[in-house]
């Protein structure tokens, strides 16, 4: 990995910072929207919840995730091997978590319309966090040839 001396004069070596698109920032906003939509919906599921605001938030979360994916796939050069390795393992962990959350909603007989919105939010959760983690790791690795 390319390195430069630390600016504080300590002699420590740090990786060169490249300019990257704001993948993590965009992803974090999308994740926050999906989580808040899920909390809003889950807090009202015993009654007849309004789906307008949670649905809009989940749609915005999906769009922001797509924007983040486009930003990642356009990065050249990039450590795609390390990205794939980290993404696959974290995705596996988050699919297990998402499955447990989804199971609890199904087991508790959440009505179908709120369940669909919650499920889309859970899919965002299970895919956007691994994207952020894998990107953060791969950005500090030497690019693939």
Sign of CA dihedral 91, 80, 131, 73: negative
Cβ–Cβ < 8 Å for 135, 23: yes
Q: What is the pLDDT of residue 125?
A: 97
**Region label for 83, one of left (φ > 0), alpha (ψ between -120 and 50) or beta (otherwise):** alpha
Q: What is the pLDDT of residue 18?
A: 78
Write down the pTM of the prediction. 0.86
pLDDT in tens, 55-65: 999 999 999 99
Q: What is the pLDDT of residue 67?
A: 98
- With cut-offs at 50, 70 and 90, classify the pLDDT of residue 46: confident
Q: What is the pLDDT of residue 48?
A: 85
Residue 30 to residue 109: CA distance in whole angstroms: 27
DSSP conformation class of 9:
S
DSSP conformation class of 15:
E
pLDDT in tens, 13-31: 455 677 899 999 999 999 9
pLDDT in tens, 72-112: 999 999 999 999 999 999 999 999 999 999 999 999 999 99
For the chain, what are the domain ranges?
22-138
Residues in contact with 59: Cβ distance below 8 Å, sequence separation at least 6, in sequence order: none
Q: Between residues 110 and 11, which one has the greater pLDDT?
A: 110
Peptide bond into 44 cis (omega under 30): no
């Amino acid at each position: 990995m390319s390195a430069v001396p630390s600016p504080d004069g300590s002699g420590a070596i740090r990786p060169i910072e490249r300019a990257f698109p704001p993948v993590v920032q965009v992803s974090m906003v999308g994740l926050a929207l999906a989580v808040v939509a899920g909390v809003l919906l889950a807090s009202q599921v015993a009654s007849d919840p309004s789906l307008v605001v949670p649905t809009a938030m989940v749609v915005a979360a999906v769009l922001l995730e797509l924007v983040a994916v486009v930003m990642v796939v356009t990065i050249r050069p990039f450590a795609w091997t390390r990205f794939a390795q980290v993404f696959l393992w974290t995705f596996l962990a988050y699919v297990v978590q998402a499955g447990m959350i989804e199971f609890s909603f199904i087991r508790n007989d959440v009505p179908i319309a709120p369940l669909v919105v919650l499920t889309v939010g859970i899919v965002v959760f299970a895919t956007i966090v691994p994207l952020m983690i894998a990107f953060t790791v791969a950005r500090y690795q030497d690019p693939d040839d």
